[in-house]
Copies of this chain bind each other. A is one copy, B any other.
Amino acid sequence: MNEPQPLFRALADPTRRDILLMLRTEDMTIAQVAENFDMTRAAVKKHLTVLSDGGLITVRAEGREKINTLNPSAFAPIKDWLSYFDAFWDDRLGDLKSAIEKDVQ
Contact = CB atoms under 8 A, between A and B. Distances in A.
Interface of A: 5, 8-9, 11-12, 14, 17, 20-21, 24-25, 70, 72, 75, 78-79, 81-82, 84-85, 87-89, 91
A9 B12 contact: yes
A8 B11 contact: yes
Main SS at interface, chain A: helix
Contacts of A91: 24-25
B81 A79 contact: no
Contact of A84 (B12, B21, B79, B87): B21
9 contacts: A9-B12, A12-B12, A17-B81, A24-B85, A24-B87, A24-B91, A70-B85, A72-B88, A75-B85
